[in-house]
A and B are shown apart, each in its own frame.
Chain A
Amino acid sequence: MKCQHCVKLATVQITEVLADNAFEEFHLCEDCAQHYLYVTAPKKKPGSNREFADSTEKFCEHCGTKFVDFRNSGRLGCPHDYQAFQAELLPLLESIHSSTRHAGKTPRRPSRRFSAQELARLRKELQSAVLKESYEEAARLRDRIRHIEGD
Chain B
Amino acid sequence: MNVSHMTSHLGEWLRGSGPESDVVVSTRIRLARNLAGEPFTTRATPHQKAEVESRLREVVELLELEQPLRYVSVAAMPAIDRQFLVERQLISRELAGVLEGPRGVAFDEPETVSLMVNEEDHLRLQSMRSGLELEAAWATIDRVDDAIESRVEYAFTDEFGYLTACPTNVGTGMRASVLLHLPALGLAKQIDKAFKALQKINLVVRGLYGEGSRALGDFFQISNQITLGKSEVASLSDIRTVIHEIIKYERMARTTLMREARQNILDKVARALGTLQSATMMTSEETMELLSAVRLGVHLKLVGDLSPLTVNELFIHTQPAHLQKLMGEPLDGEARNAARATYLRNRLRTAGSSS
Residues of A at under 8 Å CB distance from B? 62-63, 65, 73-79, 82, 89, 92-93, 96-109, 111, 113, 115-118, 121
Contact = CB atoms under 8 A, between A and B. Distances in A.
B19 interface: no
B155 interface: yes
B149 A82 contact: no
A63 B232 contact: no
A105 B162 CA distance: 9
Contacts of A82: 157, 160, 163, 170
A138 to B, nearest CB: 20
Interface of B is mostly: loop
A126 B234 CA distance: 45
A98 B157 CA distance: 19
A101 B43 CA distance: 25
B43 A93 contact: no
A71 B211 CA distance: 21
Contacts, number: 126
B161 interface: yes
B154 to A, nearest CB: 6
Interface string B170-191: 1110100000000000000000
A99 to B, nearest CB: 2
Given A75-B40, A78-B39, A117-B36, A103 B170 contact: no
A100 B158 CA distance: 11
Contact of B229 (A65, A100, A113): A100
A65 to B, nearest CB: 6
Please give me the 8 A-B residue pairs with the lowest Cβ-Cβ distance, nearest first: A99-B229, A102-B161, A79-B155, A97-B228, A104-B231, A115-B36, A77-B43, A79-B163
A76 B157 contact: no
B168 A79 contact: no
Given A107-B149, A109-B149, A77 B229 contact: no
Contacts of A73: 42
Interface of A is mostly: loop
A77 B40 contact: yes
A118 B157 CA distance: 14
13 contacts: A62-B39, A76-B40, A79-B40, A99-B230, A101-B160, A102-B159, A104-B161, A104-B230, A104-B234, A109-B150, A111-B158, A117-B36, A117-B37
Contact of B231 (A62, A76, A103): A103
Contact of B154 (A77, A107, A116): A107
A93 to B, nearest CB: 6
Given A65-B43, A102-B158, A79 B37 contact: yes
A113 B157 CA distance: 6
A97 B161 CA distance: 13
Given A102-B157, A103-B234, 19 more contacts: A73-B42, A75-B40, A75-B166, A77-B43, A82-B163, A97-B226, A97-B230, A102-B160, A102-B162, A103-B231, A104-B174, A104-B233, A104-B234, A106-B161, A107-B154, A108-B146, A111-B157, A117-B37, A118-B36
The residue in A96, A98, A115 that gathers the most chain B C-beta atoms within 10 A of its C-beta is: A96
Interface string B212-254: 0000000000000011111111100000000000000000000
Counting chain B residues whose Cβ lies within 8 A of the other chain, the interface size class is 35 or more
B149 A63 contact: no
Given A76-B165, A79-B163, A96-B167, A103 B40 contact: no
Contacts of B228: 93, 96-97, 99-102
Contact of A93 (B149, B157, B162, B170): B170
B229 A101 contact: yes
A75 B169 CA distance: 11
B53 to A, nearest CB: 17
B156 interface: yes
Contacts of A92: 167
Contacts of B172: 102, 104-105
A97 B171 contact: yes
B12 interface: no
